[in-house]
């Protein structure tokens, strides 16, 4: 069989029918390759963390009585806005859903992000800019000891309120 | 060397053993001592002074560090306009970065509590620390700059064709490595800029979520999240991220880059040296022997034209024919000619970095503060073009378009295989015209688009499109428009000129111009809130 020669590079490609011997050799070679690939994959599992340094995502925000109806308070450390209105408590994360900057709450209750100008309304819906989704509503609970607790990893549906 | 075989006659008399009081060995010791410097040199370098063709060749091929070079080099390779010295400059910058980087490692501590402090120490306490840090920073910028120009040189001289196809692909991976090296290095000072630029970078890695969210598969196949967690080892930039970036920056990426550089250089040899125009192989008119009749462009014989492969000595030592010791046509001895050129480029590069490092300090902001975003948090200049695109939609601007561009560039050698006119800038007059037209075209498209988005706005700023589905926002990025328009322009040129090479020139030029304009625009005209400003002096004070 004559090799097919690439005009430009001079590379020769042989096309020959496979014999049984070739087949066994190829099978062996490919098994080795697959084994190696799986081993690499296994090694790559190591840098995928299963426990996170921030795994304690529950933060205490004091007792519910501390916040009168009409409260709007920001917790810079947790990047969290806590609101209490007639319906109850809700908390909105200030982390911008675009690329993680901190959205700022305007005087009229809407939010804007300084990084690329995303705009959100008072309950977090995207009003402008590149942000792909609404600001996250964070789960609020009351602990057995009576603390108001926010779990910054747990998202709840927009409009969910905690009635105390 | 002549003395190595000389034995003292006395020693031969006493084969059976030495008498007491005989001072022969002592004298020999004395003479050995005196001869040691010379013999030491001879043992290290086993050839004479490089003055003849033979010893000059030996100087190259018996030296571990030099034998990557051919013993004789085609004259075209050391003409200034062939490479502009850019590949060598990039390599020298890489070496400089390794040296200054290792020195910085002596004091740097990859811990969130100590990193910033160790940077302050390096700047203010460590002897020469400030200079080393400055040189490291400037060399990093310069390396990115040179690698882009080097790529443009290789592209415009059509050095990606034929046997060189794969080396272009290796080059593309070196390009990506260079960017990865500088991105990982950006976090290490642990200042405000570092923290927020990497926060943005990590969230870009997460942005495939925009796509998986639309497809509704995020809950069981969340690539974005996987990428971010792999990069940060956490959900936020913190200690885990710092260690990961450190390991990548000082170990993984430098090693991978070194190996790729070695392959890159080795392949240049195997591909027949640097690309040269066909005319460079024509025998000059004043040469005595007429060239043998053979089809143009084919090597005639190893001695009458530069061989396709650079065999080094073999071409020279071919028996006792009159050709021995006569120069290969159009080639020169690598020692010292090519070494002078490499040396000169290296000296200029190092000097430039030293001067920059002496007079301009690498910036260091306040210590990283996760509670207060830097505004604007600008990435290093070469990422600012992407940051501009990201400000319209994260996935397309930060992942989609870079991927399309890198893969597109890597495929160029396989899509444009016309073999004429390699080694000639722009492949001749037509290519120059195409490049010029493409510059004009790209300037109009990119500047027009930026003017449009700044003065009129983008999708969510208009009544009718304010609430289009997210997928439209994600995909329909001004960058997407550029890619599509440039691709169409390139196809138009292919059709018009009936040449894929011309189409490639058009496409590459458009992307280069787009990159340059976006970079300039985001550097100069974007300020706090990523708003448009004519200059930094107009920024609001806060
Ligand atoms: C770490 C980065 C890189 C280093 C240190 C490097 C170094 C070099 C050097 C020293 C040469 C010899 C010619 C010259 O000095 O210009 C060369 C040639 C070449 N480089 Fe690179 N390079 C790098 C990245 C790239 C990139 C990003 C590309 C393109 C995608 C590329 C493509 C090529 C090609 C195609 C050649 C052969 C040129 C010819 O035959 O004329 N290289 N490189
Ligand atoms: S991070 Fe908020 S708009 Fe980009």
Query: What ipTM was predicted for this assembly?
Result: 0.84
Residue B204 lies in a domain: yes
Question: What pLDDT digit, counting tens, does each position of B450-470 carry?
Answer: 999 888 878 777 877 777 888
Higher-confidence residue: B329 or B212? B212
Instruction: Assess if residue B330 is contained within a domain.
Output: yes
Residues B393 and B467 in one domain: yes
CB proximity list for B107: less than 8 A, separation 6 or greater: B118, B121, B122, B126, B129
* Minimal C-alpha gap between A19 and chain B (Å): 31
d(CA B119, CA B181): 19
- A75 strand-pairing partners: A80
Range of the structural domain that residue B504 is part of: 383-542
Segment B218-224 mean pLDDT: 85
Go through chain A and tell me how many residues it has: 164
Q: What percent of chain B has pLDDT over 70?
A: 87
Examine the domain organization and report whether B327 and B433 are in the same domain.
no
Inter-chain CB proximity B238 and A54 less than 8 Å: yes
Task: Among B79-83, B147-151, B353-357, name the one with the lowest average pLDDT.
Answer: B79-83
Q: Which stretch of B229-243, B258-272, B370-384 has the lowest confidence by average pLDDT?
A: B370-384
B136: alpha, beta or left? (left if phi > 0; alpha if psi -120 to 50): alpha
How many Å apart are CA B413 and CA B504, to the nearest integer?
Answer: 9
- My answer on whether A29 and A80 are in the same domain is no
**Domain for residue B137, yes or no?**
yes
User: Does A25 reside within a domain?
Assistant: yes
Same domain, B102 and B247: yes
The shortest CB-CB distance from A129 to any of B235, B376, B460 is to B460
Host domain of residue A93: 58-156
**pLDDT at residue B4 above 50?**
no
Q: How many whole angstroms separate alpha carbon B421 and alpha carbon B414?
A: 17
B195 CB under 6 A from ligand 1? Answer: no
User: Is residue A82 within 8 Å of A71, Cβ to Cβ?
Assistant: yes
Q: Three-class SS of residue B350? A: helix
Q: Which two tokens stand for residue A39?
A: 């081993």
B199 close to A (CB below 8 A): yes
CATH (domain of A86): 2.102.10.10
CB B393 to CB A8 under 8 A? no
Would you say the C-alpha torsion B352, B353, B355, B360 has a positive or negative sign? positive
CA distance B373 to B200: 11
**Does residue A73 lie in a domain region?**
yes
Q: Does residue A52 form part of some domain?
A: no
Per-residue three-class SS string for B197-257: HHHHHHHHHHCHHHHHHHHCCCCCCCHHHHHHHHHHCCCCCCHHHHHHHHHHHHHHHHHHH
Query: Does residue A68 sit in the same domain as residue A144?
Result: yes
> Angle at CA B400, nearest 5°, toward B399 and B404?
115
Query: Backbone phi, then psi, for B170, in 5-degree steps?
Result: -55, -45
Are B236 and B91 part of one and the same domain?
yes
Check residue B299 and give its pLDDT: 42
Residue of B69, B77, B89, B150 best suited for mutating to test ligand 1, as the one with most atoms within 8 Å of CB: B150
Pocket test for ligand 2, best of A131, A134, A136 (most atoms within 8 A of CB): A131
Same domain, A110 and A139: yes
Q: Is B530 on the interface with A (CB under 8 A)?
A: yes
Domain membership flag for residue B262: yes
> Computed over its alpha carbons, how large is the radius of gyration of chain A?
29
CB B446 within 8 A of CB B519: no
- Do B366 and B395 belong together in one domain? no
pLDDT of residue B63: 87
Mean pLDDT confidence for B246-273:
94
Cβ–ligand 1 contact at B207 (below 6 Å): no
In a domain, B15, yes or no: no
A77 to B371: CB separation less than 8 angstroms, yes or no: yes
Report yes or no on A50 lying in a domain.
no
d(CA A83, CA A91): 6
Instruction: State the total domains in chain A.
Output: 2
Task: For ligand 2, atom 3, name the residue with the nearest CA.
Answer: A116
pTM for the whole thing? Answer: 0.86
**Which whole number is the average pLDDT over A80-100?**
91
- B528:A114 CB<8 A: yes
Q: Are residues B209 and B263 in the same domain?
A: yes
Q: Which residues pair with B524 in a beta bridge?
A: none
- Is there a domain that residue A51 lies in? no
Residues A130 and A66 in one domain: yes
């Amino acid at each position: 069989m004559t090799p097919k020669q690439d005009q430009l590079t001079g590379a020769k490609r042989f096309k020959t029918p496979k014999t049984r011997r070739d087949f066994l050799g190829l099978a062996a070679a490919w098994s080795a390759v697959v084994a190696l690939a799986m081993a690499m994959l296994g090694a790559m599992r190591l840098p995928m963390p299963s426990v996170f340094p921030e795994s304690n995502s529950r933060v205490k925000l004091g007792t519910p009585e501390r916040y009168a109806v009409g409260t709007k308070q920001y917790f810079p450390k947790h990047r969290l806005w806590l609101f209490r209105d007639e319906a109850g408590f809700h908390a909105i994360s200030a982390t911008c859903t675009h690329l993680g900057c901190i959205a700022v709450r305007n005087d009229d209750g809407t939010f804007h992000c300084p990084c690329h100008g995303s705009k959100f309304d008072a309950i977090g819906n995207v009003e402008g800019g590149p942000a792909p989704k609404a600001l996250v509503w964070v789960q609020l609970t009351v602990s057995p000891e009576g603390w108001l607790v926010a779990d910054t990893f747990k998202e709840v549906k927009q409009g969910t309120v905690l009635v105390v | 060397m002549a003395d190595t075989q000389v034995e003292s006659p006395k020693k031969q008399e006493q084969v059976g053993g030495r008498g007491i009081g005989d001072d022969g060995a002592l004298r020999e010791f004395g003479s050995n001592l005196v001869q040691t410097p010379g013999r030491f040199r001879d043992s290290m370098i086993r050839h004479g002074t490089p003055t003849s063709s033979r010893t000059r060749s030996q100087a190259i091929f018996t030296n571990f560090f030099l034998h990557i070079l051919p013993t004789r080099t085609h004259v075209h390779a050391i003409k200034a306009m062939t490479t502009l010295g850019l590949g060598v400059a990039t390599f020298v910058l890489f070496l400089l970065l390794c040296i200054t980087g290792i020195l910085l490692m002596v004091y740097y501590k990859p811990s969130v509590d100590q990193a910033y402090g160790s940077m302050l120490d390096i700047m203010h306490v460590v002897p020469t620390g400030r200079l080393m840090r400055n040189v490291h920073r400037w060399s990093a910028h310069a390396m990115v700059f040179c690698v882009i120009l080097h790529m443009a040189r290789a592209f415009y001289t059509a050095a990606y064709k034929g046997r060189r196809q794969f080396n272009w692909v290796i080059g593309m991976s070196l390009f990506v490595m260079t960017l990865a090296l500088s991105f990982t290095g950006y976090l290490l000072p642990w200042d405000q800029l570092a923290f927020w630029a990497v926060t943005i970078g990590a969230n870009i890695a997460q942005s495939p979520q925009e796509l998986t969210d639309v497809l509704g598969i995020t809950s069981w196949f969340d690539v974005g999240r996987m990428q971010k967690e792999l990069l940060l080892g956490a959900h936020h930039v913190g200690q885990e991220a710092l260690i990961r970036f450190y390991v990548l920056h000082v170990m993984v990426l430098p090693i991978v880059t070194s190996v790729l550089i070695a392959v890159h250089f080795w392949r240049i040899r195997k591909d027949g040296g640097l690309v040269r125009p066909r005319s460079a192989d024509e025998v000059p008119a004043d040469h005595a022997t007429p060239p043998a009749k053979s089809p143009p462009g084919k090597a005639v014989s190893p001695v009458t034209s530069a061989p396709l492969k650079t065999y080094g000595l073999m071409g020279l030592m071919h028996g006792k024919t009159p050709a021995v010791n006569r120069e290969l046509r159009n080639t020169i001895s690598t020692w010292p000619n090519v070494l002078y050129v490499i040396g000169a480029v290296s000296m200029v590069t190092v000097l430039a970095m030293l001067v920059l490092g002496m007079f301009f300090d690498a910036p260091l902001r306040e210590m990283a503060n996760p509670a207060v975003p830097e505004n604007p948090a600008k990435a290093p200049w070469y990422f600012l073009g992407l940051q501009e695109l990201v400000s319209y939609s994260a996935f397309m601007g930060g992942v989609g378009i870079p991927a399309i561009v890198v893969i597109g560039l890597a495929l160029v050698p396989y899509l444009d295989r016309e073999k004429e006119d390699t080694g000639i800038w722009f492949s001749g007059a037509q290519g120059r015209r195409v490049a010029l037209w493409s510059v004009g075209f790209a300037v109009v498209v990119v500047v027009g688009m930026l003017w449009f988005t700044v003065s009129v706005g983008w999708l969510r700023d208009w009544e009718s499109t304010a609430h289009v589905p997210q997928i439209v926002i994600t995909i329909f990025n001004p960058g997407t428009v550029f890619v599509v328009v440039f691709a169409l322009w390139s196809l138009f040129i292919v059709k018009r000129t009936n040449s894929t090479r011309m189409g490639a020139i058009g496409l590459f030029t458009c992307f280069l111009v787009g990159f340059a304009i976006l970079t300039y625009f985001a550097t100069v005209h974007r300020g706090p809130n990523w708003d448009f400003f004519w200059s930094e002096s107009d920024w609001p004070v806060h």
